[in-house]
Amino acid sequence: MLKTSKDWLIKNRLFIEIGILSCLVLSVFGLILTFLKSDDNIEETSEMLSYLESESNYSMASNQVEQQSESQSEKIYIDVKGAVYLPGVYEVTSDMRLIDAIELAGGFSEKANQNPVNLSLKLTDQMVIFIPEVGAVDEKKSELETSAVPIEEAVITVPKEDSAAATSEKVNINLADSNELQQLPGIGEKKAEQIISYRQENGSFQKIEDLKNVSGIGEKTFEALRVDVTVGDGE
C-alpha cells in the first residue's frame, strides 16, 4: 500500500506542486489585500479626524463671531415723530440705522420730506427722530444757515442727550435765555430771539401752546418741542 501511495505521489507530483504554489500565491495575495485595506482604513480615519477638527474650529470661530457681535450690539430706545405712519417709541439695537427706524414706524407718510433725511445715520439711545413734512425744512433753513449744527441733524434727528430732556428738566420758556432755548428741537438763534422778544412785549407765557403765537413757530415745530418745555408752576 505504501508503494502504491508513493507511486501516486510520483505520478501526481506536478499537480501537487502546482496546488501548493497556488495556495502560497493566494495566501500572499490575501495578505497584500489585507494590508492595502488596512492602509485605506488608516487614510479614511485620518481624513475623518481632519474633517472633524476643521468642523470644530469653524464652529468655535462662528460662536466667537456671534458672541462678539452680540456684545457689540445693545438694546436702545428711540422716539420717532413727525411724518411717518406709526410714530412712537421703539426698541432697537445700537447697530441699526435710521432707515431701520423709519421702516419700524411704518415708513414715510405721503407728506414726508425725505430730501434732508440721512438714512444711513446710526441710531443712539434716547434719540428723537423728527421727520418733517414738505415745506417744513424750508421754514427752518433761514435760522440755521449761520449755525454750526448741520440742517439735517437739527431738523431730522435730535439725540435726547443733546437736548434739555436728557437732564430730566424741561426748559422754562419764561426764564430761558437764548442758548437754553436753542437746545430745543427746531429752535435756532433766530427763533430763540423771537421767543424772548415775544416774552418781553407780551409778558410771560401762560401756557406752552402760546409758543405758537411766536412768528415762525408752527404746529410741526411746536409738536417737536412741546415735551421739553414748561411755563413753570408744574406745567
Predicted local confidence at residue 211, as pLDDT: 92
pTM: 0.37
C-alpha triplet 49, 54, 57: angle, nearest 5° = 125
pLDDT of residue 188: 84
**Do 49 and 79 have their domain in common?**
no
Task: Encode burial over 12-51: b for 16+ CB neighbours within 10 A, e otherwise.
Answer: eeeeeeeeeeeeeeeeeeeeeeeeeeeeeeeeeeeeeeee
Same domain, 119 and 196: no
- 11-36 tens-digit pLDDT: 666 666 777 777 776 776 666 666 55
pLDDT of 142 reads: 43
For the stretch 109-127, pLDDT in tens is: 998 888 878 888 888 888 8
pLDDT of residue 162: 46
The reported pLDDT for the residue numbered 143 is 43
- Measured between alpha carbons, how far is 82 from 87 in angstroms, rounded to an integer? 7
d(CA 196, CA 204): 10
pLDDT at 146: 36
**Average pLDDT per block of 10 residues along the chain, 235 residues long:** 60 69 69 60 61 64 60 80 87 90 92 85 85 66 40 43 51 89 86 91 90 89 88 65
* Domain end position, chosen among 98, 131, 160: 160
Give the CATH number for residue 170: 1.10.150.320
| Judgement on whether residues 78 and 151 belong to the same structural domain of the protein | yes
The residue range of the domain holding 14 is 2-72
What local confidence, expressed as pLDDT, does residue 24 receive? 72
The conformation of residue 212, written as its DSSP 8-state character, comes to G
Of 72, 96, 116, the position where a domain reaches its end is 72
Are residue 135 and residue 168 in the same domain, yes or no?
A: no
Mean predicted lDDT score pLDDT of the chain: 74
pLDDT of residue 15: 66
Number of structural domains found in the chain:
3
Boundary residue ending a domain (13, 40, 72)? 72
Residues 168 and 149 in one domain: no
Residues 231 and 196 in one domain: yes
**Whether 92 and 145 share a structural domain:** yes
Q: Are residues 141 and 169 in the same domain?
A: no
